[in-house]
Chains A and B, each alone.
Chain A
Amino acid sequence: MDERNNNLIFDNISPKKIFSGNNKSILFLDQGGIIESRKINVALQKGKNKFFVIFFILLSSFFFITLTLFKLSVTSDKINISKSSLEVARGKIVDRNDKIISASIPTLDLYIDGRKIINKKKTIESLKKIFIKKKDNFFTDIIKNKKYKLVSKHLSETEENEVRKLGEPGLVFHDSSRRIYPQDNLFSNVTGFISKFGVAQSKLEKFYDKELNKGLDIKLTLDLKIQNIIYQQLTESENYFSSKGSLGLLIDVTNGEIISMVSKPDYNPNHPITIKPYSENNLITEARFEMGSILKIYNAAMALENNSTAENKLFDVSRDYELTKTYIVKDSTKFLEPINFEKIFTHSSNIGSIKVYDTFGKKTQKNFFKKIGLNGHTRIKGLSTIDNNLPSDEQWNEVISRSISFGYGLSITPLSLVTTFSSLVNGGYKIEPKIIDNLEIDKERIISRQTSQKISHLLKKVVEEGTGKHAKVKNLGIGGKTGTAKKFNKIGGYYEDKVITSFLGVFPINKPKYLLLVLFDEPIKGLNSLTPYGSNTAAPIFAKIVNQIAPILNLKKE
């Protein structure tokens, strides 16, 4: 055959006219059919070549599929988590007394399989009555168009019973589980929340997602009752002071356990859809403040720790202090006669603080901050934290140092403040803050015992005769320091009318055990006064709180 094709011999070639459609074509045929067979042979050979190409293309897609399969089945490991999440109930989060803060309960989700609905009209009518909130044509749409669709997640008991009564095979229940927070808003900024689709979104739920999914419980150092008291007090006073936000933080200064952590604004983690982004911030760990007067105590500690002469000197604070050409430091209470070391702090004198600073200088200040750990980043396991904002080495000049001495020029997180302050009053030991209940305390002394005792004494005096009078609690020794700081504005100066007011208190002051920080962000007025200060906002609220929580903390009143 091939040979014949190569040496064509044509017999009786005859043209043949063919009409196909509008196209006219002429075909030549010969008697032996050689032209024809040659034409087909060419087509066949070309077709075969194309077929081989297709074969290799499809072979490579098989190869690609095998590769994808390999990636999925051999190298992926995510499956262990999601499998366990289906089989084991997610672990609980409990407080220090094993009261439930967050737990998962099994629920049912309802789906409609539009294809399997038997009595369409009746089903639509009944479902409309059960799920009143759904749009008018929601069910009609699913059933008429034969869709498979989610109707409602986490059915209530009545809903489930009503749906079961209908007995439609097209109404399908899926097992599901729901995270519930029995305390609603109370712990929202500590626990974080879980999205509608079961994904942990923030804070402890996210940080311990793996452990919780394995069914492990997480025990916190927080105390539900105390958390509740502080929360109630802050909520009430926020209304009164019209503040933008507020926080309360109670820590055990001897071991760093945080007993209460309230940050407002907050949200209800039971309803993830309603959460606004601004309320998701935990002000204690994720916000920085210029703390103002509270930081003067650090100034005092520096003086005491370095045996400076300040303790026994008298200071003249009668004239305003010119820090820079444009910045004049003033005091709210004027003293015409020279005052002693103690009085500077009990009456929170800015000028006095600068004078005390001048007795030891910049280097000591910097070293002190480094030693107590204020310069870095105070971390706490389970929550995200941010850096403290201290001036850089180039920026840190005498002017900055002087303003730091009365509390401006560095912004720190409340967590950092409370942690470092604890060392000042607990006898001088470094502590690590924690909210997860576990043992392990190693005591490292960073401040001398004497300094610590003197600071406690100073704090006691502030409450007894100074700016902290409103923080007094009957029959319980309190020490503390008020803070009122103007807020920094973006242009580079300070707002005149926007302030942060705070009170940091330690009790019982004779043998310090607990430290509570109360802070209000932008209060508009104070108690019985139109100008908010730490002394007339945070201090009285501090007293109210301590009054209520003292019995819970087993503090014997004197």
Chain B
Amino acid sequence: MNIMREIKNWWWSIDKWILFSSILLLLFGLMLTLSGSSKIEYKYDYPTGYLFNKQIIFVVVSLLVILISSMLSVKNLIFFSISTFFIFIILSFLPIFQEEIKGASRWIKFFNFSIQPSEFLKPTFIIMSALLLSRYKKKADNSFFLNFLLFSLLGFVLFLQPDFGMFVLFFLTWFVQLILVGLPFKFMSLIILFGSSIFIISFLTHEHIRFRILNYFNSDIGDNYQVNKAIESFSNGGFFGTGLGGGFFSKSLPDVHSDFIFALAGEELGFVFLCFIIFLYIILFYRVVSSMVNEKNLFVFLSASSLILILIFQCLINISSALNLIPTKGMTLPFLSYGGSSLLSCSLIIGFLLALTKKN
């Protein structure tokens, strides 16, 4: 009886728009994986349905993660985040000593699955940073310094792997968080200096970053194979697409199931479907914004707004690079791309958001 009441309470208190949009996106992702993974399975000699079956497991686990994390109280959420953050930052150092996959060491082997620990740092770091920042406003003690230290640690891990895209995402979100809390100008200028120096160092030391950026600005050199194929996918798809499984150009992309899933969706399901996907993301965003209007707690405001922002930034970066609006960046599209770590991390974000926007 008690559990029934708990569930009933939970059901009435959560934001159903957020919940159902996320579930819809998860299902769309599953559908696209069915089409996108076929090429990858063929290419790497996996048995048919191997990736799809894996993804089904991820989706089920994701739903559980959303359910459980949305039930957390704010206090438990903080406690959970702190412990998870430290576990995964230690795990993040591990892959550096392992074999590389696709030019970077971001994954650790776990039975049959590869886990990308840095994905799980996304929601947890945001919660910790929000906590420290709301404390900073209250007490004006060393909490900002601590926050900066944590971010540097995170940046260091990502720099070693190297995962430049993830660093940009973290930095962007963190920076916006600092703007939201209203940090004094001199601090902000220091942070900007810090960010740009990291960018320049990465540009100078990592050749593939330099290549990607130069390649974007000067389309004569090197190959724009991926981007060209992605753009051709969109034009081939037209209004209603060629039908699920009918992709031609997008199938020739090496990372069609993850980084370029949007191009696949564009070719197979068309412009109208893409608009619907974008609409779903905007619903998520809008629901969080509207529930923040009457929020009284600074911590809740900071964490909820940054959680949704990291998700939206990720969408924008992924979609823009598929459209060649920005240099190509290996980044997954929330909920739609194949990949367990990305899916779980996004589910954790949605779970946290549901927990934070709960009505009394």
Listed in ascending order, the chain A residues whose CB lies under 8 Å from chain B are 18, 20-21, 25, 27, 36, 39-40, 43-44, 46-48, 50-52, 54-55, 58-59, 61-62, 65-66, 68-70, 72-74, 76-79, 82-83, 115, 145-147, 150
Contacts and interface: CB of A to CB of B under 8 A. Distances in A.
B301 A47 contact: yes
A58 B313 CA distance: 9
A66 B278 contact: yes
B5 interface: no
A147 B103 CA distance: 9
B182 A47 contact: yes
Contact of B293 (A48, A58, A62): A48
Contacts of B134: 40
B236 interface: yes
Nearest to A87: B248
Interface stretch (B14-22, B191-199, B267-275): B267-275
B290 to A, nearest CB: 10
Contacts, number: 119
B180 A51 contact: yes
A48 B295 CA distance: 9
Given A43-B181, A65-B316, 17 more contacts: A18-B141, A25-B140, A36-B138, A39-B137, A40-B134, A47-B180, A47-B181, A47-B301, A47-B305, A50-B182, A55-B286, A65-B319, A66-B278, A79-B235, A79-B236, A82-B232, A83-B249
B18 to A, nearest CB: 15
Contact of B323 (A36, A46, A72, A77): A72
A25 B278 CA distance: 47
14 contacts: A18-B139, A20-B142, A36-B138, A47-B181, A47-B305, A48-B301, A50-B182, A51-B305, A55-B289, A58-B285, A65-B278, A72-B231, A72-B235, A115-B102
A46 B271 CA distance: 38
A50 B179 contact: yes
Contact of B137 (A43, A68, A83): A43
Contact of B239 (A27, A40, A59, A73): A73
B188 interface: no
Nearest to B315: A62
B282 A59 contact: yes
Contact of B271 (A43, A54, A69, A78): A69
A72 B234 contact: yes
Contact of A65 (B137, B208, B239, B320): B320
A44 B208 CA distance: 41
B244 interface: no
B305 A58 contact: no
Contact of A62 (B138, B181, B281): B281
A40 B266 contact: no
B323 A54 contact: no
Interface string B318-348: 0110010100000000000000000000000
B302 interface: yes
A73 B312 contact: no
B298 A40 contact: yes
B298 A21 contact: no
B145 interface: yes
A556 B116 CA distance: 85
A74 B278 CA distance: 17
A180 B105 CA distance: 45
A62 B278 contact: yes
Contact of B100 (A65, A70, A72, A115): A115
A78 B235 contact: yes
A543 to B, nearest CB: 52
A438 B101 CA distance: 59
A58 B316 contact: yes
A47 B176 CA distance: 10
Contact of A20 (B102, B140, B320, B325): B140
B325 to A, nearest CB: 7
A83 B248 contact: yes
